[in-house]
Structure 1
Amino acid sequence: MPTDGVEKATEQATQILELLWRHALPAKPGARGPKPGLTVDAVVDAGIALADREGIEKLTIRAVAAELGLRAMSLYTYVPSKDALLVLMVDAVAADDPAIPADLPIRDRMIAIATRIRTELIAHPWLLEVSPWRQVLGPARMRRYENQLRAISDAGLTDLAMDRAIAVLTDFATGNARLAVAAAGATAQLSDADWWQVHGPLLAEVMPAADFPLAGRVGTAVGEHYQAPADPDGAFAYGVATLVDGILADAGD
């Protein structure tokens, strides 16, 4: 990367990190801060409320400013860009995740890691649209990672295995949350029973049943049991229990 590109990236990273850790850092002597009457926290809260209500595609500096009764240019006093605001929003949401009770059995503590991630994503579906790669770590996400590690620190895993266990549980919870969010959005428009009433007979007409004997038999059983194409909640309960049992079995080797 050219020198000017590195300098620009460093400047942007410094600005975002200082915003993320604003409550932990001492105020700079003589620094010019935002105008009184509004805080960065209030801007972040407004961004979260907007994204929860209308989705991330509607999240703009102008829209958040309108939420607060301000002009768009005024908001740049508090956050330098939409990307920076998103980083702050992701960290702020993580602050709602308290420590996992230490008196729970280790298996329940590990399941809680995945359950809390899934619950957060379902409550804030826009998080699924934020790239998880190279996310800048703020105090809330670091605290959650610390709490997750503490929750499994007595499982007999190495440091690398603890990190990998948290990553695997998070990835599974994220994938299942994506399915649950999609299911909720679909049923809001047309119930699963109505959808299948339309598509079932049409599929039966075009699909040669003899070519798919197992898929036809299992698919019919699933549809009759769930009255839906799938069961995100049941799949999560089964999957996370299976994952945790596998992780704990590996820890005992």
Structure 2
Amino acid sequence: MPTDGDEKSTAQASRILELLWRHHVPAKPGARGPKPGLTVDAVVAAGIALADRDGIAKLTIRAVAAQLGVRAMSIYTYVPSKEALVVLMVDAVAAEDAPIPAELPIRDRMIAVAERIRTELLAHPWLLEVSPWRQVLGPARMRRYEHQLAAIEGAGLSDLTMDRAIAVLTDFATGNARLAVAAAGAAAQLSDADWWRVHGPLLIQLISAEEFPLAGRVGAAVGEHYQAPADPDGAFAYGVATLVDGILADS
């Protein structure tokens, strides 16, 4: 027998799905819509702009209202909660993703799947703080998944392996983007070259060649070459090419 909590959860889920698919599903007869003035799209766009600028920790209904020049309570006419707003924001960002050109070779199309995920995360770093588990699918994320599947269709992969390939490419791109965002944040305070100029000579003195013969040699070579602790862009290019080649080799 459904409990009050179950009914509340179902109502919340239904409301979020209605908002996500608002441009695809006609409004229910007699349903009360939001008051004229703003739109759900405008509220979502304001949320994205705020999160892009200040980070998701600063995203509140009150802050979105201030951005739009309205009272906080009026925002609830359009979205029921901050959590619902974030779901809508994630889907709205995915809408920016265009189809991957079908004329590209299959290898390039598969690399593009990962490149686009990484580009999206670098443009909207707050996405890295949104849990990917049990994200509610909206039309834009579903369309992007369709684009991704179309990009690797014809590679000789089973349906299950196609999905797994996209998941692996997404996970790799996400992990690399996280490192790249951290590097950009650190560089904003102190450039990598300046950091290495200070720390490099000290590390070389402290790291014993006898105790760490390989780590010391390779680490010093990497630091001198990149003038930084690592090279996220280069690691991504090498890693995604290696991943794709491995996936295609098993097809």
What is the TM-score when the length of structure 1 is the normalising length? 0.96
Deviations 1:159-180 (A, max 9, x none): 0000000000000000000011
Distance (Å, rounded) in 1 between the aligned partners of 2:155 and 2:6: 42
The one-letter code sitting in structure 1 at the alignment partner of 2:96 is D
After alignment, is 161-170 or 24-33 more displaced? 24-33
Superposition deviation, residue 231 in structure 1 = 0.7
C-alpha change, 1:206 and 1:45, in structure 2 (3 Å) is: same
1:235 aligns with 2:235: yes
Aligned residues: 251
Q: Which residue of 1 aligns with 2:161?
A: 161
Distance (Å, rounded) in 2 between the aligned partners of 1:208 and 1:151: 49
Q: Which residue of 1 aligns with 2:17?
A: 17
Distance (Å, rounded) in 2 between the aligned partners of 1:36 and 1:211: 70
Deviations 1:92-150 (A, max 9, x none): 00000001111110000000000000000000000000000000000000000011111
Distance (Å, rounded) in 1 between the aligned partners of 2:109 and 2:193: 36
Q: Give the unaligned 5+ runs of structure 2.
A: none
Distance (Å, rounded) in 2 between the aligned partners of 1:139 and 1:192: 40
Distance (Å, rounded) in 2 between the aligned partners of 1:30 and 1:117: 40
Distance (Å, rounded) in 2 between the aligned partners of 1:154 and 1:200: 48
Q: Which residue of 2 aligns with 1:75?
A: 75
Describe the SS at the equivalent of 2:181.
helix
Q: Which residue of 2 aligns with 1:40?
A: 40
Q: Give the unaligned 5+ runs of structure 1.
A: none
Distance (Å, rounded) in 1 between the aligned partners of 2:139 and 2:194: 46
The one-letter code sitting in structure 1 at the alignment partner of 2:211 is D
RMSD over aligned CA atoms reads 1.3
1:176 aligns with 2:179: no
Alignment of 1:140-159 (within 5 A): 140-159=140-159
Alignment of 1:1-253 (within 5 A): 3-251=3-251
What is the TM-score when the length of structure 2 is the normalising length? 0.97
Describe the SS at the equivalent of 2:132.
coil
Identity of aligned residues (%): 84
Deviations 1:70-105 (A, max 9, x none): 111110000000000000000000000001111110
Superposition deviation, residue 6 in structure 1 = 1.6
